[in-house]
Amino acid sequence: MSRKIIYSMHVSLDGFVGGPNGEMDWIKVDDSMFDHVGQLTDDADAAIYGKNTFHMMDSYWPTADQGPNPTKHDKEHAQWYRSVEKYVISTTLKNTGADKVTIIGKNIPERIAQLKALPGKNILIFGSPSTAYLLTQHGLIDEYRLFVNPVILGSGIPMFEHNGQTIPLKLRETLQFAAGVTSLCYEKA
């Protein structure tokens, strides 16, 4: 059995993952959501990021547990981030030789399919809407974990570009969090 690729993303009620300038100040979180995501990371040993999301994550998570008063979530996620293989989808970044970071810029769907076929735990995609869209087009994402926030943005970065492709999904789980966020877990139908 191959590994699952799980896409996890915050989204507005009207389908945006970022404001017009990429703002994410509308995203609501609470401790129970962090615990839920902690369960996802416990079952994963790799992550896929687009270039922008990787830069954002890599500027914070490697040392998030070393500052003053780190939260339980900071400690747990920083440890996970440092321990997992990170695959960055980018045609412009060059491999810097950083520990546990591999840049994939060519034959992306084929390379990700090869990663899925390797033994191991699940592979997570946090954010990275362009990367998720590309992998969705090629049928490589097995599960979508959407955190629907109680906000209508009106414009911004859409979760998916529309290309006319229909991809049937089935709802596997719904969770409600105290922050007013609803988690919807869909898998391929």
Going by C-beta distance under 8 Å and a sequence separation of 6 or more, which residues neighbour residue 104?
A: 87, 88, 89, 90, 111, 112
The domain spans of the chain are 35-106
The token pair at 89 is 């989808």
How many residues are there in the chain?
189
- Global confidence as pTM: 0.93
Q: Give me the amino acid identity at 115.
A: L
Note the pLDDT of residue 151.
97
Note the pLDDT of residue 166.
86
Note the pLDDT of residue 132.
92
| pLDDT tens, N- to C-terminus, the chain (189 residues) | 679 999 999 999 999 999 999 999 999 999 999 999 999 999 999 999 999 999 999 998 999 999 889 999 999 999 999 999 999 999 999 877 788 999 999 999 999 999 999 999 999 999 899 999 999 999 999 999 999 999 999 999 999 876 778 889 999 999 999 999 999 999 988
Contact present, 15 and 149 (Cβ < 8 Å): no
Note the pLDDT of residue 1.
60
> Whose CA is closest to 124, among 106, 146, 143?
143
